[in-house]
Amino acid sequence: MNTEQTENSTPELGQILPDGEQAAVWHSEAGFAAPTSLQDADDTMRADQALKKMRNGIGLLWRGDFQNGRQLLQALGRRLDRKTKAATGHEAEPISARFHRYRMQQAQRARLLGLLLIRLESDTTIALRRAPAWEQALLQVYGSAHPPMLVSLRELLGVVGAYEWRRKGVPIIDCDFRIHPHYGVFSPSRAEYLTLLLQAPLPENCRTAFDIGTGTGVLSILLAKRGVARVIATDSSPRAVACAQDNVDRLELGDQVTVQEVEFFPEGRADLLVCNPPWLPGKVTSSLDAAVYDPNEQMLKGFLQKARQHLEPGGQIWLIMSDLAQLLGLRAVNELTQLFSENGLRVLTVYEAKPTHARASDRSDPLHEARVQETTSLWCLAPIDTEN
């Protein structure tokens, strides 16, 4: 379930631009604050010089060749990564402290690199030498009804990358279809949790299911493909709802799957309740964090607290979780099973899988110690006072 943040637009920033140029508004999909001031930058600016200005909170409005601006961004990233690597080497400290330090470094990196800015015209073009024609990709995120905007080059590259994933689609393991993620909606790139959902036996006579926090809609689609006659997919994010509906329509599953913009459960009851909440408790610092971090475990706890009242007799509750939070020291080892008990739920069975994604085998990852031990689980639950 993705939580949308209000766009951070401050038209007054545009007044800093030179006389005679139409004012532009600040825009950040990540919700970053506008820079304290702006300076022009062009092909003569060196990376060290740019980084010094950025550390002082100065936004650099790129006026030079577009491709040179892209190269400058890459050079800035390499410098920041070298500094981060040099600051690593605290193996003796608890891994939870390492995680929080790593996350802080990544947030600082994102904010600094986000200060290299591009002016996006009201027709979504970029008026720079050798600027690519990205209008179609940018329109899908920024729309057509906007004044000129100042957007970070890093964000623009992310938007275009997401557009390519949306256009090509993501193949789903052991399936003959693709899922097309939209920008800002978590891509189903981790195969292990999808494999678990495909392998676990459905409850007996399972005809209805609710998929809570559906994202791309992939779990609802897999349930429909497995023969569940009626699936309702919910999400609180308008972007996720549009994405899920798009994928349902592409696969012509509208007769089986309905998508609703709802924070948790739709009205009524179902034979199967499925939820794949964000796996890590933690503060959401940007709208794109919301698929990974669950502040105060609000979604996990809310799902478990409300599940019983939406479950048909004899039904099951499926919760997909990783134990990465426990391995990072962010959640007590027995906290999850304690939450089940507190909400009147018992464990029927657990299906487990080891991760297969690249980061699980990347020894240079500062959190490799935890990632290599990670297990993804599908918890099959039922109310304590029922027999299955």
pLDDT-based confidence at 191, cuts 50/70/90?
Answer: confident
For residue 27, give every residue at least 6 positions away whose Cβ sits within 8 Å of its Cβ, in sequence order, or none.
7, 8, 9, 120, 142, 146, 149, 150, 151
Dihedral of alpha carbons 355, 3, 265, 182, sign: negative
pLDDT beyond 70 at 267:
yes
Q: Provide the residue ranges of all domains of the chain, joining segments of one domain with +.
A: 25-164, 174-383
Rounded CA-CA distance 124/138 in Å is: 7
Q: Evaluate whether 227 touches 197 at the Cβ level (below 8 Å).
A: no
- Which pLDDT score, from 0 to 100, does residue 10 have? 41
Highest mean pLDDT among 7-11, 100-104, 175-179, 257-261: 257-261
Give per-residue pLDDT as tens, 132-174: 999 999 999 998 888 899 999 999 999 999 999 999 999 998 8
Rounded CA-CA distance 65/86 in Å is: 32
Give the type of residue at 371: R
Of the listed ranges 104-118, 212-226, 273-287, the least confidently predicted one is 273-287
pLDDT beyond 50 at 225:
yes
pTM: predicted TM-score of the whole model, two decimal places: 0.85
Q: Evaluate whether 359 touches 311 at the Cβ level (below 8 Å).
A: no
Highest mean pLDDT among 13-27, 234-248, 357-371: 234-248
Thinking of the domain 174-383, which architecture would CATH place it in? 3-Layer(aba) Sandwich (3.40)
SS3 340: helix
For residue 374, give every residue at least 6 positions away whose Cβ sits within 8 Å of its Cβ, in sequence order, or none.
322, 323, 324, 327, 354, 355, 360
